[in-house]
């Protein structure tokens, strides 16, 4: 009786959880409803986790006495993991958000790989399809886990620069082929019942070891400029792995959530790659993004510096201003001061808009989240395709900590690594001010030709400190007038 009620409850709860996932994801597609979407999806996740404990009622606990011990361990693990994630999530700085997302992606992939490992070690897979799906999910999950850890290390600064060796692509291919070959051997041995040279448990260890190493090797050569795409790729990998292992476990909620996340991650990856005018394969298997490599091309001239107060006053008397935020704004934690400055301009009847490039920052959507955190209205924020035509008629463009996304070399210099990448046409404005900490290169190591254009002036300094000076200058005008 209890078993039947448990099965009915599980089915109903899985359907409800899956519906909440889908509804929540739909609401996440708009900045205005994203917060509520996260809450809805979170409720769905809680429902799915709690429902998993109902499987105990459908199992003969007397025949499996260790089951209750496992349940207790699961509760302890949920407490530690959930509590730790809550504390870290509340305290994490905006600049650390990309690496937090990367490591959480890795945890999801690791969880999927762990499910596959337990299925293989416990010899609970039956049939060719289920065994192959288990192995595929395990491979993708392990790659996502180790690759995401390397991505985290790069973003955190633990690994300062890409690590490349001669024959890197060939070595990666060898490890991928080895992982697939071992997986095939496990499948053939498991289905045929043949006695392999080594126990299947040993082959399983070898399989996951190779997959983990492959994830590391695939991510080590990728440079900083490609990190947004890499994070997106591993997000798709994790979703796919979770969906596949959901099929193995026969859990609809995991299947639906995993496949939706996987599909969304894949579409986002393609969008990010297109925003850089590159293919995903080009991101994974070329050397773009190497911080140590500096490309100057045919740039001539010098950078012209100006005072923050002069730039602020110029914008106060402009008819139209477009602001291009970049990672430097997040690093300086200047988003609140930026919006304070914008409100002064709006009060003076200046038309102000924000232009956000799809790959600005170090993770997808980082600039949108940054501006939302400061309270910037959504109707002031525009994406590349929607605002690019307006730069030519704009009085002043303010670039804050951005580099490659406004570099005109992408249009003119065929020798540049970013040639062909769609950029924000900031250089076409009547006047451009660039807030930059110093005269160093951007995260990708490419010199920005915009900085040397005759209509561009540099405002050197920490973004928050510069914005404070701009605010003081504009307020000073009002005080003088009074």
Paired with 356 in beta bridges are 383
Query: Does residue 404 carry a catalytic annotation?
Result: yes
Distance CA 377, CA 380 (A): 6
Alpha helices, H only, 375-442: 384-387, 409-412
Alpha helices, H only, 159-251: 168-192, 200-219, 227-249
Paired with 436 in beta bridges are 460
Distance CA 354, CA 363 (A): 18
Contact 401/433 with Cβ under 8 angstroms?
no
Distance CA 36, CA 28 (A): 8
Contacts of 356 (CB under 8 A, 6+ apart): 324, 325, 367, 368, 371, 381, 382, 383, 384
What are the DSSP calls for 220-239, one per residue?
A: TT--GGGHHHHHHHHHHHHH
Distance CA 427, CA 406 (A): 7
What are the DSSP calls for 256-295, one per residue?
A: HHHHHHHHHHHHHHHHHHHHTT--HHHHHHS-TT-TT--B
User: Tokens representing 30?
Assistant: 């708009």
Distance CA 267, CA 106 (A): 19
Residue 197 per-residue DSSP state: S
User: Tokens representing 146?
Assistant: 């180790």
Residue among 14, 226, 368, 404 flagged as catalytic: 404
Q: Is residue 472 classed as helix, strand or coil in its secondary structure?
A: helix
**Residue 429 backbone phi and psi in degrees, to 5:** -70, 165
Active site residues: 404
């Amino acid at each position: 009786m209890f078993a039947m009620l448990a099965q009915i409850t599980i089915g109903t709860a899985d359907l409800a959880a899956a519906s909440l996932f889908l509804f929540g994801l739909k609401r996440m597609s708009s900045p205005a409803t994203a917060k509520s979407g996260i809450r809805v999806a979170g409720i769905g996740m809680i429902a799915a986790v709690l429902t998993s404990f109902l499987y105990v009622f459908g199992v003969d606990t007397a025949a499996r006495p260790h089951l209750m011990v496992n349940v207790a361990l699961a509760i302890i693990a949920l407490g530690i993991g959930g509590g730790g994630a809550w504390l870290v999530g509340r305290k994490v700085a905006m600049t650390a958000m990309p690496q937090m997302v990367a490591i959480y992606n890795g945890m999801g992939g690791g969880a999927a790989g762990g499910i596959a490992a337990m299925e293989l070690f416990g010899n609970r897979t039956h049939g060719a399809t289920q065994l192959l799906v288990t192995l595929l999910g395990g491979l993708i999950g392990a790659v996502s886990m180790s690759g995401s850890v390397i991505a985290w290390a790069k973003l955190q600064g633990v690994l300062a620069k890409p690590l490349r060796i001669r024959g890197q692509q060939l070595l990666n291919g060898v490890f991928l082929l080895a992982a697939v070959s071992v997986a095939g051997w496990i499948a053939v041995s498991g289905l045929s019942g043949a006695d392999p040279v080594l126990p299947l448990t040993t082959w399983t260890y070898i399989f996951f070891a190779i997959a983990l190493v492959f994830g590391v090797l695939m991510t080590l050569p990728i440079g900083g400029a490609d990190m947004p795409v890499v994070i997106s790729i591993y997000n798709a990998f994790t979703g796919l792995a979770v969906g596949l292992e959901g099929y193995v476990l026969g859990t609809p909620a995991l299947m639906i959530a995993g496949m939706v996340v996987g599909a969304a991650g894949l579409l986002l990856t393609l969008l990010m790659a297109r925003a850089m005018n590159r293919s995903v394969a080009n991101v994974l298997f070329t050397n773009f993004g190497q911080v140590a490599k500096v490309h100057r091309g045919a740039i001539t001239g010098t950078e012209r510096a100006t005072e923050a107060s002069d730039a602020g006053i110029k914008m106060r008397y402009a008819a139209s201003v477009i602001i291009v935020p970049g990672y430097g704004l997040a690093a300086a934690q200047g988003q609140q001061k930026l919006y304070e400055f914008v409100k002064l301009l709006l009060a003076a009847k200046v038309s102000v808009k924000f232009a956000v490039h799809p790959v600005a920052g170090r993770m997808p959507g980082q600039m949108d989240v940054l501006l939302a955190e400061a309270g910037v209205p959504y109707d002031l924020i525009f994406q590349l395709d929607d605002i690019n035509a307006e730069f030519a008629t704009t009085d002043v463009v303010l670039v804050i900590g951005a580099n490659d996304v406004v570099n005109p070399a992408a249009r003119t210099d065929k020798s540049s690594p970013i040639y062909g990448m769609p950029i924000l046409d900031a250089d076409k404005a009547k006047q451009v001010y660039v807030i930059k900490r110093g005269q160093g290169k951007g995260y990708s190591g490419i010199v920005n030709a915009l900085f040397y254009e005759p209509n561009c002036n540099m405002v050197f300094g920490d973004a928050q400190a510069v914005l404070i000076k701009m605010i003081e200058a504009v307020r000073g005008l009002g005080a003088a007038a009074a």
